[in-house]
Amino acid sequence: MGEGKTPGDLPPVLAGASHPPSPSPAQYEASPAAVVLVHGLWMTGLEMALLRRRLRRCGFLPCQFSYPTVRAPVVENAARLHGFLQRVSAPVVHFVGHSLGGLVIRRFFHDHPPRRPGRIVTLGTPHQGSMVARRLARHGWGRRLLGRSIEGGLLGDLPPWSGTRELGVIAGNRNLGVGLLMPGLARPNDGTVAVAETRLPEAADHVVLPASHMGLLISSAVAQLTCVFLRTGRFLRGPAESGPSERKFIR
């Protein structure tokens, strides 16, 4: 929950109150916004430490949410996220989800729509379902690896996104990951998720960067664009390069 800190070291955004007080207009300006980070499949949140530090440098208060990616389906982990949010007392709460984490965030907004304002950024999230997950799910050993994570999310069966919140999508096009072991993953891709799988018609913006699936978490460009989107609701970038790579760079 924030880089190995003890409860006494947690930032003031985390409080024990089960019902955070409604913020006044002045609080929206004076209080830093929280960013809840939601990790991906087989991860714990430790791999998001660098991104948390960069978000903190941007002026946000990062809060790491950890959940059992394999032992529970997306809908149950969305409920866990809802419970976690009861301890976040900031008046503005943004969300950043990597891979499966983005699907958990979407399910959370569908089942437990929060009243506090905030934006969402997903990194390498297969909003259209994951071909790699579908291939793995065909085999007994693959289903054991995926566990209950494939229930209501990774196979593309998540409820439609309402579009009521600004959601930005960052995808990678550096082909380095488990997808190399499974021929047929559409190009461009980040080695695990195809760029086409990350698209969400109702998203406010979509950007493609030269990063692998895990590389999205350590990319300084990803962190910078995430900060920009959380503040403005759009990614600032220059003209897209021609060709199939769809790279779009920061100005």
Q: Give the tens place of pLDDT for each residue, 161-200.
A: 988 899 999 999 999 877 777 788 999 999 999 999 999 9
The enclosing H or E element of 62 equals strand 61-65
Region 48-75 average pLDDT: 98
**Looking at the predicted structure, is the pLDDT value of residue 15 above 50?**
no
The pLDDT value recorded for residue 238 is 53
Helix spans in 138-188 (H): 140-146
Region 149-156 average pLDDT: 94
Please choose, from the candidates 132, 216, 141, 217, the residue with its C-alpha nearest in 3D space to the C-alpha of residue 178: 132
The pLDDT value recorded for residue 51 is 98
> Cα–Cα distance between 14 and 19 in angstroms, integer?
12
**Looking at the predicted structure, is the pLDDT value of residue 159 above 60?**
yes
Q: In what order do the strands lie in the sheet with 61-65?
A: 61-65, 34-38, 93-98, 120-123, 167-172, 205-209
- Which range, of 108-112, 229-233, 246-250, averages the lowest pLDDT? 246-250
- Contact (CB, 8 A) for 44 and 76: no
> Cα–Cα distance between 141 and 179 in angstroms, integer?
17
- Given pLDDT bands bounded at 50, 70 and 90, which one contains residue 5? very low
Give 185's contacts (C-beta < 8 A, 6+ positions apart).
131, 132, 179, 194
E strand segments, 119-225:
120-123, 167-172, 205-209
> Cα–Cα distance between 65 and 245 in angstroms, integer?
32
**Looking at the predicted structure, is the pLDDT value of residue 245 above 90?**
no
Region 95-111 average pLDDT: 98
- Which range, of 3-7, 38-42, 142-146, 211-215, averages the lowest pLDDT? 3-7
Provide the token pair at 92: 């503005």
> Cα–Cα distance between 7 and 241 in angstroms, integer?
46
Q: What CA–CA distances, in Å, run from 6 to 2, 46, 84?
A: 9, 15, 16
The pLDDT value recorded for residue 23 is 38
Provide the token pair at 222: 């990803």
**Looking at the predicted structure, is the pLDDT value of residue 2 above 60?**
no
CATH, range 24-232: 3.40.50.1820
> What is the percent of the chain where pLDDT is above 70?
82
Question: What are the boundaries of each domain within the chain?
Answer: 24-232
DSSP string, 12-59: TTB-S-SSPPPPPHHHHHHSPPEEEEE--TT--SGGGHHHHHHHHHTT
- Contact (CB, 8 A) for 85 and 160: no
